[in-house]
Structures are given as structure tokens and as C-alpha cells.
């Protein structure tokens, strides 16, 4: 399976995401933000970083990149898309996911290993987890506080679209401890923590992040 990884100016973790895809058994495909070519990939990862230096708002400029027009179109047709950290911000700015990511409530950059609880095990990116499972994934952000209007938060809860929650401490003040959300069809997922940094015992706090990438490979086969 071919999994595209988009590089924007200021992306930091595109190589890490590609490595995660490779370790999961997929073929990573490099995608450039300025192109109009998804290269016939089966899924797309928007990696972490600071696209365009986070000017205007984090992810706001990257959301208007030429390739994102194609990502939005294909995502609405069912293409699995994962947004990690800055990628999550881009997906929200592009209108593929609800809400927004704002400055951390304590106004500090936070970098630590974070416990998450899996709330949905039936999205394209979480099929290899169990609902209620706790996983350890690094978090590193300065603008990771998930916010939305109270009515929108209630709707997300009612529609069961919260995929991950922070447990054992909220690192950024996200409302309702939300760490990640999904689209209505469960094909698009965004989260602030970094699963691509938890794929090997040598370099990560766990290997819990590898399940994102093995999950989507199985989801593509069965789609």
C-alpha cells in the first residue's frame, strides 16, 4: 500500500512519518505541497512541524497549499488522511475536521511522553487498538489546545467523534481533554501527539504509535 507523506515549508517530521509507514509494511511516497499530484496513493499523512513558521495561525497557510485542494477533494471521497500535530492544525484550517488548535493554556511549549485513552477503535487509523486502551505517545507543541464552541463539542461527543483523550494530565488545556478527533466517516483523523515518535523501543517511550500505520494498511485493503 502506498501512503503519501506531505512536506510543507517548515515540516519537521515528514521523514519520521515515512519511516513509520515503512516499518508498518507500507510504501511511503513523498508528496510536495506545491504540486497537484497525489501520485495515486492509498492514504495521506500530514506530518508535524511548523509549516510556514506558523504565521497567521498554525496551519492556516499550509491549508491553502495547492496539494491540499486535492487532499480535501479526495478526503471527502473517502481517502484516509492522518494529521499529526501541525497536520491536525492544517486539517482543521482546511475544514476537514471541526474545531481549532490554539495557544497552550499555560503559554509554554510542552514536550513530554503523554498517556492517551483510545475512544474509537473503528476509524481507518485506529483499528489495531482497543477501545479504552491506554497508549503512550510523545506530545510536543506550543499551540495544541483543542477548542470549539460548546454546541460543537456536544455534537462531537454525541456523534462519538472524539478518538483520543489525554489522561494522567492534560498537557495543553484542550477542552474536555480532547487529544484527537475524526470526520463523520472515520476516515480522517487528527491528533496533537506524535505516533511516529513511538514506533521503536530504541528511540521512543513505547511502540504504541505503530498501530496508526498498521491500522490504515488494513483499512485500505478492506475498503
Residues serving a catalytic function are 85, 194, 196
Return d(Cα 76, Cα 185) in angstroms, integer. Answer: 9
Q: In this structure, are residues 84 and 51 in contact, taking their beta carbons and an 8 Å threshold? A: no
Contacts of range 50-58, beta carbons closer than 8 Å, 24 or more positions apart: 50/10, 50/12, 50/86, 51/8, 51/9, 51/10, 51/11, 51/86, 51/90, 52/8, 52/9, 52/10, 53/10, 54/10, 54/86, 54/143, 57/89, 57/93, 57/100, 58/86, 58/89, 58/101, 58/143
CA 133 to chain centre: 18
Q: How many CB atoms lie within 10 A of CB 122?
A: 13
Amino acid at each position: 500500500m502506498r501512503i503519501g507523506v506531505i512536506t510543507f515549508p517548515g515540516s519537521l517530521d515528514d521523514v519520521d512519518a515515512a519511516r513509520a509507514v515503512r516499518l508498518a509494511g507500507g510504501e511511503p511516497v513523498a508528496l510536495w505541497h506545491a504540486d497537484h499530484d497525489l501520485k495515486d496513493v492509498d492514504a495521506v499523512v500530514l506530518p508535524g512541524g511548523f509549516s510556514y513558521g506558523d504565521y497567521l495561525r498554525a496551519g492556516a497557510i499550509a491549508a491553502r497549499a495547492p496539494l491540499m485542494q486535492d487532499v480535501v477533494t479526495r478526503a471527502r471521497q473517502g481517502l484516509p488522511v492522518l494529521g499529526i500535530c501541525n497536520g491536525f492544525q492544517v486539517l482543521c484550517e482546511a475544514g476537514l475536521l471541526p474545531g481549532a488548535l490554539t495557544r497552550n493554556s499555560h503559554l509554554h511549549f510542552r514536550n513530554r511522553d503523554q498517556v492517551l485513552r483510545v475512544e474509537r477503535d473503528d476509524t481507518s487509523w485506529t483499528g489495531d487498538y482497543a477501545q479504552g486502551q491506554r497508549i503512550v505517545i510523545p506530545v510536543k507543541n506550543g499551540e495544541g489546545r483543542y477548542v470549539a464552541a460548546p454546541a460543537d463539542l456536544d455534537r462531537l461527543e454525541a456523534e462519538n467523534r472524539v478518538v483520543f483523550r489525554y489522561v494522567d494530565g492534560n498537557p495543553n488545556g484542550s477542552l474536555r481533554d480532547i487529544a484527537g478527533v475524526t470526520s463523520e466517516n472515520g476516515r480522517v483523523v487528527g491528533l496533537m501527539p506524535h505516533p511516529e515518535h513511538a514506533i521503536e523501543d530504541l528511540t521512543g517511550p513505547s511502540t504504541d504509535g505503530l498501530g496508526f500505520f498498521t491500522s490504515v494498511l488494513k483499512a485500505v485493503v478492506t475498503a
